[in-house]
Structure 1
């Protein structure tokens, strides 16, 4: 019995020694920065999760992705992982990601509606114009004052896709590249979609990449609206706009984002065998 106790104590001591040794080598794993931007437009503080590429050099200019739904418990981490993979394996340049953490996405991503059922389900709705103003007048200038930047991207899904579509149609010059995934164009009885042809007729024909995607397993209205948006964009006669569409055959509204972003990025940065 005493022999068993001694063996147990020896093993416990060895385990504790190993743990203490390992703890002595622990250090934080850092992939970027968390910043707080006080917005006068929104009258609130907004958290920004910022990914800086592994070989980040502040003296060099980098593309910037503005990620809606960019909280740590939303899309920030898995999108950053996807970007790191494309930096490593594809011809995508090292890119900064600015994840915009949410406070109330239903308020920020939707425009006004008079439909009573939507007002009931979304009581804070209708402030996208103010949020777009925040992006244009405060967030982008702030990021550009902190980092040297080149091309800009906007990533948005669902209500974020609705907001990205609204910006594309009303203020397309804000971003160079738009990734619009499963946009909630059903909002306000599809009023944005109904205005899209007229809005597009007013926008300049400057170089732009637009990627629209939807999952085959999504609600039939979501699928129809995404297809209609793509069709309207293609018929807008923007010769300098590259417009792509992808039906994700095996995805639904919950599963689409990561794989769809991968497919969209491949269209911009196709794989090339190493020379």
Structure 2
């Protein structure tokens, strides 16, 4: 009996040792950082500050290759804003071959109210947002510094797309009206066209006068976001269509199931489909 008990306890002791060793070996894992893209910091002479560009490079990208890529410029492109999920959506469209492999440049914010708005005549806006009204400087930064930097340092082609939502959509509309040649494609989501009593909607004549000698595609989308936002977005699409310009293609989409907070992803999915239609 004593020998049997000794064998029993010896079995448990050595069995636990083996199990412990096995468990220890199984916990040895390799862990390394998951890299989605890269971050470049550029000094802006126009804005007198350093700006961060978050950059997604498509699979297979090589600086040594002759292959060039379209560039998608994303406003509100900070890492904790829209850069990660928009890059993921672009990666999905690349994976399914629904759009060409593209570089995404997320422009991180410093003061979006300052950068995305033109001067307002509304006293309450001036009081509530004292830094606003400097969009002209930001547009100059895009054209004179950000775009040239990307084109110099990355394998780009002539295709340039701008994505802007809310105040970013306001800025995208201003660029379209005033300097349409800066981009080939404009994805304007839930634009804050209420700014300055909707004055921007009266300035489309500048677009017809300065329209570039190339095709420009514009996609406007809005969710169930209240009468003003919805009507302004619809009016923008109608103003653009009324120009009846041979080189301007305009699409509009309404998402009644979405709000201002969650419309971006659904809107961009549809927008990427429309921009990349073969016909």
Same fold, judged at TM 0.5 (above): yes
Match of residue 45 from structure 2? 40
CA distance in 2, matches of 1:135, 1:212: 21
Deviations 1:166-196 (A, max 9, x none): 0000000000100000000000100111222
Q: How does 1:230-245 map to 2 (within 5 A)?
A: 230-245=237-252
RMSD: 2.0
Equivalent residues of 2:47, 2:141 under 8 A apart: yes
Structure number, greater radius of gyration: 2
CA distance in 2, matches of 1:242, 1:113: 30
Match of residue 82 from structure 1? 89
Match of residue 27 from structure 1? 32
Match of residue 207 from structure 1? 215
Q: Give the TM-score, by structure 1 length.
A: 0.90
Match of residue 202 from structure 2? 194
Q: How does 1:1-275 map to 2 (within 5 A)?
A: 14-19=22-27, 21-22=28-29, 25-58=30-63, 59=65, 60-150=67-157, 151-196=159-204, 198-204=205-211, 206-215=214-223, 217-270=224-277
CA distance in 2, matches of 1:116, 1:157: 24
State the shift of 1:269 in Å.
Answer: 2.7
Q: Give the TM-score, by structure 2 length.
A: 0.89
* Unaligned runs of at least 5 residues, structure 2: 1-8
State the shift of 1:9 in Å.
Answer: 7.7
Number of aligned residue pairs: give it.
265
